[in-house]
Homo-oligomer: A and B are copies of this chain.
Amino acid sequence: MKLQPVPLQSVKLHDRYLSFLTELCGNSVIPYSIQRCDETGRIAAFKLDWKPGMPNQPHIFWDSDFAKVLEGMALDLIIHPSEERRKELEQYVDLVVSAQQPDGYLNTHFTVVEPAERWKHLFSHHELYCAGHLMEAAVAHFKATGSRKFLDCMARYADYIATVFGTEDGKLKGYPGHEEIELALCKLADATGNKKYSDLAKYFIDQRGQSPNYFEQEFERLHEPVRPNYAMELQAHKPVREQKKAVGHAVRAGYLYTGMAEIADRYNDDELLEACKMLYESITEHRMYVTGGIGSSIVGEKFTEDYDLPNAFSYAESCASIALCLFAQRMLNITGESKYAELIELEIYSGATAGIARTGTEFFYVNLLEKDKRPMSFGHLSSERQPWFDCSCCPTNYCRFLPQLSQFAFSCTADGLQVNIPVDATIELPLEGRTLKATITGNYPYAKNFRITIDDDCNDAEIALRVPSWLSNPIAWFNGKTVPIDGSGWLRYRRDWRKGDFLDISYELKPRLLFADPRVSDDAGKVALALGPVIYALESVDNGDDLSALVLPVDQVFSLVPAQGLPAGTIAIKGRGYREEAAIAGKLYAPARPKRTPCTITAIPYALWNNRGSASMRVWIRALY
Contacts and interface: CB of A to CB of B under 8 A. Distances in A.
A591 interface: yes
Number of copies: 2
A580 B518 contact: yes
Given A310-B374, A594-B518, A548 B528 contact: no
A515 B593 contact: yes
A428 interface: no
Contacts of A306: 373
A513 B623 CA distance: 21
Nearest to A528: B589
Interface in A523-555: 524-525, 528, 546-549, 551, 554
A92 to B, nearest CB: 35
A599 interface: no
A515 B588 contact: no
Nearest to A580: B518
Nearest to A299: B378
Given A305-B373, A525-B622, A554 B284 contact: no
B525 A525 contact: yes
Given A297-B374, A313-B313, A516 B589 contact: yes
Contacts of A581: 517-518
Interface in A204-239: none
A519 interface: yes
Contacts of A546: 307, 518-519
A594 B623 CA distance: 12
A113 interface: no
Given A519-B546, A583-B515, A588-B285, A308 B594 contact: no
A312 interface: yes
A532 to B, nearest CB: 12
A549 B623 CA distance: 14
Contacts of A580: 518, 524
Contacts of A297: 374
Contacts of A307: 372-373, 546
A216 to B, nearest CB: 20
A187 interface: no
A590 interface: yes
A29 interface: no
A318 to B, nearest CB: 21
A515 B589 contact: yes
A557 interface: no
A514 interface: yes
A56 interface: no
A520 interface: yes
A286 interface: yes
A590 B520 contact: no
A150 to B, nearest CB: 41
Interface residues of A, number: 59
A589 B290 contact: yes
A518 B548 contact: yes
A588 B549 contact: no
Contacts of A521: 312, 370, 372-373, 547-548, 618
Contact of A374 (B305, B378, B470, B623): B305
Contacts of A481: none
Given A310-B313, A373-B307, A521-B312, A285 B586 contact: yes
Interface string A306-337: 11101011000000000000000000000000
B622 A591 contact: no
A587 interface: yes
A549 B518 contact: yes
A515 B591 contact: yes
A580 B525 CA distance: 9
Interface in A567-616: 580-583, 586-594
A524 B549 contact: yes
B549 A519 contact: yes
A350 interface: no
Nearest to A512: B591
A285 B515 contact: no
Interface string A458-496: 000000000000100000000000000000000000000
A375 interface: yes
Given A548-B519, A593-B554, A588 B284 contact: yes
A304 interface: yes
A588 B516 contact: yes
Nearest to A312: B310
Given A373-B305, A374-B310, A515 B549 contact: no
Nearest to A525: B622
A501 to B, nearest CB: 33
Contacts of A593: 515, 554, 623, 625
A272 interface: no
Interface in A358-399: 370, 372-375, 378
A427 interface: no
Nearest to A470: B591
A96 to B, nearest CB: 35
Contacts of A583: 515
Contacts of A518: 546, 548-549, 580-582, 594
A288 interface: yes
Contact of A515 (B374, B590, B618): B590
A614 to B, nearest CB: 13
Contacts of A378: 299
Contacts of A304: 373-375
A225 to B, nearest CB: 15
A375 to B, nearest CB: 6
A316 to B, nearest CB: 15
Interface in A269-310: 284-286, 288, 290, 297, 299, 304-308, 310
Shortest beta-carbon contacts, A-B, top 4: A308-B373, A518-B549, A521-B548, A518-B580
